[in-house]
């Protein structure tokens, strides 16, 4: 039996491919560039199919002989000149893949979404679960497209093919650098003394999950996940103030930190987007990101722990492992 992984050159996808190979599985990967895969993922015992989610010929070749699919491929940039890119890749691309998977008799698909589609919780409210917000607010086109992706995926649950959705929170830990690994980049900047501010008043909450827990969550979702269900893959809930206090303690930097008002961050984000449009370059921050920063993102992974036998790494332990990777390469 073969297993297909899309998004194998991404942060989670690359780690998942390595894990599947170590487990002795026969892995295929849909890749846009063989060279990029060989440079970033660095495994040889994988069958590569070159193409993307809107290349139907490549998709058919990729899905052929596969009984299980991990669908991680997505457009996750914080900004683009063409906003339709989010829908074209994340929504239509998913439909293309699942159409072909259904036709070819795939047994089960694990679709990687994001905890961002759950929506924030009220301050001092109970952590958000998979069922808290059936119609959540969206602060970015990415989150909205992933919500639409989930709806597309659920259309296939009445067929013989099982569909399970996983929703990771803010992932950190060793792995490929990029948009999805921004928390690790922040930890590195802090460790070097180059990060000195706390967003807003520091009371907003976030949820942080170690990369290895997310990978294991995917594997458990394939093994134990119930078709038609979504599962939050989260870690610890912690405020920005407490998160940076923890970093100060672990790194022993004890550096003074400055709280930056949300209004100032919003002004900066708008100027970044303006410059991006004028000079066609990626902004460092966008208004949608600032809006999310000011919300509470307490999450509950209890359903995953109960049904997927999911566990997560203590935040202090995870940060220490991340720092060891950052410092030692």
Write the pLDDT tens digit of every residue in 137-176.
999 999 999 999 999 999 999 889 999 999 999 999 999 9
CA triple 200-201-204, angle to 5 deg: 80
Percent of the chain, pLDDT > 90?
89
Question: Does residue 76 lie in a domain region?
Answer: yes
Q: Please compute Rg for the chain using Cα positions.
A: 20
Q: What integer pLDDT is reported at residue 177 of this predicted model?
A: 83
C-alpha 156/C-alpha 154 separation (Å) is: 5
C-alpha 186/C-alpha 173 separation (Å) is: 11
Name the packing angle between helices 93-103 and 141-154 (round to 10°): 20
Question: Does residue 328 lie in a domain region?
Answer: no
Q: Does 206 score more than 90 pLDDT?
A: yes
The CATH code of the domain that includes 11 is: 3.40.50.720
Question: Does residue 194 lie in a domain region?
Answer: no
The whole-number average pLDDT for the span 275-287 is 90
Give the DSSP per-residue string, 24-35: T-EEEEEES-HH
Q: What integer pLDDT is reported at residue 179 of this predicted model?
A: 74
C-alpha 262/C-alpha 253 separation (Å) is: 25
C-alpha 93/C-alpha 56 separation (Å) is: 10
Question: Does residue 202 lie in a domain region?
Answer: no
> Are the C-beta atoms of 60 and 103 separated by less than 8 Å?
no
How many domains does the structure of the chain reveal?
Answer: 1
> Are the C-beta atoms of 315 and 238 separated by less than 8 Å?
yes
Question: Does residue 113 lie in a domain region?
Answer: yes
The whole-number average pLDDT for the span 219-232 is 99
C-alpha 9/C-alpha 38 separation (Å) is: 9
Q: What integer pLDDT is reported at residue 200 of this predicted model?
A: 94
Domain around 143: 2-171+209-236+298-313
Nearby residues of 189 by Cβ (< 8 Å), 6 or more positions away: 195
> Are the C-beta atoms of 207 and 299 separated by less than 8 Å?
yes
Q: What integer pLDDT is reported at residue 102 of this predicted model?
A: 97
Question: Does residue 134 lie in a domain region?
Answer: yes
Question: Does residue 259 lie in a domain region?
Answer: no
Give per-residue pLDDT as tens, 292-324: 988 999 999 999 999 999 999 999 999 999 999
Question: Does residue 69 lie in a domain region?
Answer: yes
C-alpha 327/C-alpha 240 separation (Å) is: 23
């Amino acid at each position: 039996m073969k297993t297909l992984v899309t998004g194998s050159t991404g942060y989670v996808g690359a780690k998942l491919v390595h894990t599947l190979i170590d487990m002795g599985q026969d892995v295929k990967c849909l890749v846009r560039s063989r060279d990029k895969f060989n440079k970033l993922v660095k495994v040889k015992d994988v069958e590569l199919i070159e193409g993307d989610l809107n290349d139907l010929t490549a998709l058919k070749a990729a899905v052929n002989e596969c009984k299980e699919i991990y669908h991680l491929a997505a457009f996750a940039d914080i900004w683009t000149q063409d906003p339709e890119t989010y829908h074209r890749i994340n929504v239509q691309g998913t439909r293309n893949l699942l159409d072909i998977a259904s036709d070819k008799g795939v047994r089960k698909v694990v679709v990687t979404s994001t905890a961002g589609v759950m929506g924030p919780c009220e301050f001092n409210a109970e952590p958000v679960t998979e069922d808290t917000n059936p119609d959540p607010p969206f602060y970015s086109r990415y989150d909205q497209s992933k919500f639409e992706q989930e709806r597309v995926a659920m259309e296939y649950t009445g067929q013989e093919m099982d569909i399970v959705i996983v929703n990771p929170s803010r992932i950190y830990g060793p792995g490929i650098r990029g948009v999805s690994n921004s928390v690790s980049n922040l930890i590195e900047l802090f460790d070097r003394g180059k990060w000195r501010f706390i967003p807003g008043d520091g009371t907003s909450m976030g949820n942080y999950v170690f990369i290895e827990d997310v990978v294991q969550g995917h594997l458990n979702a394939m093994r134990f996940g119930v078709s038609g269900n979504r599962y939050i893959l989260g870690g610890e809930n912690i405020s920005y103030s407490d998160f940076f206090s923890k970093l100060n303690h672990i790194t022993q930097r004890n550096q003074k930190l400055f709280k930056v008002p949300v209004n100032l961050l919003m002004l900066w984000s708008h100027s970044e987007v303006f410059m991006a449009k004028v000079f066609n370059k990626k902004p460092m921050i966008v208004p949608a990101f600032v809006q999310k920063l000011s919300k509470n993102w307490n999450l509950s992974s209890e359903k995953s722990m109960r049904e997927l036998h999911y566990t997560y790494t203590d935040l202090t332990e995870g940060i220490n492992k991340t720092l060891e990777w950052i410092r030692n390469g």
